[in-house]
Amino acid sequence: MDVLSDVIAAMRTGRPHSSRTVRFAPWGLRFPPGKAAGFHVVLQGTAWLLPPRENPGGGPAAALPPPPVRLCPGDVVLLTHGTAYGLADHPDSPLTDAVPLPDGSWPTPPDRGPVGAEETLLLCGAYQLSRTRPHPLLAELPPYVHIPARVGAHPRLRAAVELLGAELAEPLPGSDAIVPALLDTLLLSLLRTWWLTERADRSTGWSAALADPAVAAALRALHGDPTHPWTVGELGALGGLSRAAFARRFTTLVGRPPLAYLTWWRMATAGRLLRAGGLPLRSVAERTGYASEFAFAKAFKREYGVAPGRYRAAA
């Protein structure tokens, strides 16, 4: 089981959307806070990201805004936590609120700007993610992930960008199916690129967990068969570690003891199945490792604070 793909599938709550847009200087957009994780790719020209604050809840880190980040052709940026941010042709350009259309797409700007105006071609979009119980793998991401363009670097990410850009520039039969698949490819490629090559400290957290042979083997097993009655000793044996050594390493890197993570993941999976609808509670219980609907409902309410039926109705 691919843990990264599994996590993204569990956290996704809706269909991603994207658009290819041209902006003529001067321009500036203010993106409001929300549940979506937004992304932008500069295809031509330049732009400035006015990034979200490191500590939007207050405190010293929120007193001063972070410095603007210049985005050059080929740069990719992902705004991870749904915090408000800005995008403009210059840090001093006034910002107007970016208001999406009812279908989630953005209004199309004019095809032509003032004579001599600098032109920026952007590929923009958003992924709807559940913020109720964010997976720690996503929660540890910084406020934004910036992948600068470098000659010969990240060929798979660049290929995903080029394919998506071409499909949006000239839709053909099948685009309605191809674009969402390419958006998923872009998101996973972007995250994989950051964790494997761009993150400065890969010795702690989920970067280290996914790279550690024993912990990664246990995570693959837990995600591959969450219904199995796993024991700490059994999981440790997968990586050739004793029960105690494995438990210490797993807890240090993942942030939860092995069986506590298993329970958390079962509940995250249950939430996804309930949001999708269609399955009776008995089937959801079976798919998340509970022998009875009653035991499942009790565990779910303990984690979410609401009964499974009410959670599904609200979702």
SS3 per-residue string spanning the chain:
CCHHHHHHHHHECCCCEEEEEEEECCCEEEECCCCEEEEEEEEECCEEEECCCCCCCCCHHHHCCCCCEEECCCCEEEECCCCCEEEECCCCCCCEECCCCCCCCCCCCCCCCCCCCCEEEEEEEEEEECCCCCCHHHHCCCCEEEECCCCCCCHHHHHHHHHHHHHHHCCCCCHHHHHHHHHHHHHHHHHHHHHHHHCCCCCCHHHHHHHCHHHHHHHHHHHHCCCCCCCHHHHHHHCCCCHHHHHHHHHHHHCCCHHHHHHHHHHHHHHHHHHHCCCCHHHHHHHCCCCCHHHHHHHHHHHHCCCHHHHHHHC
Residue 103, pLDDT above cutoff 70: no
Question: Among 10-14, 147-151, 229-233, 300-304, which stretch is predicted with the lowest mean pLDDT?
Answer: 10-14
Mean pLDDT within 43-62: 73
Q: Quickly state the pLDDT bin for 296 (edges 50, 70, 90).
A: very high
pLDDT score for 110: 62
Mean pLDDT within 126-148: 84
Question: Among 7-21, 55-69, 228-242, 269-283, which stretch is predicted with the lowest mean pLDDT?
Answer: 55-69
Q: Quickly state the pLDDT bin for 7 (edges 50, 70, 90).
A: confident
pTM of the model: 0.81
Looking at per-residue confidence, does 104 or 247 come out higher? 247
Mean pLDDT within 145-167: 90
pLDDT score for 293: 92
pLDDT score for 52: 87
Name 70's bridge partners: 48
Phi (first) and psi of residue 40, to 5 degrees: -140, 140
pLDDT score for 242: 95
pLDDT score for 72: 94
pLDDT score for 192: 86
pLDDT score for 104: 56
pLDDT score for 106: 62
Ranges 1-10, 56-65, 268-277, most confident: 268-277
Query: Tokens representing 143?
Result: 């406020």
pLDDT score for 16: 82
Residue 201, pLDDT above cutoff 80: no
Nearest to residue 18, comparing CAs of 146, 127, 110? 127
Residue 276, pLDDT above cutoff 80: yes
The Cα diameter of the chain in Å comes to 70
Residue 59, pLDDT above cutoff 70: no
CA distances from 107 to 20, 53, 142, 232 (A): 11, 27, 29, 53
Residue 220, pLDDT above cutoff 80: yes
In the chain, what are the domains?
Answer: 3-198 (2.60.120.280), 207-314 (1.10.10.60)
Mean pLDDT within 175-183: 89
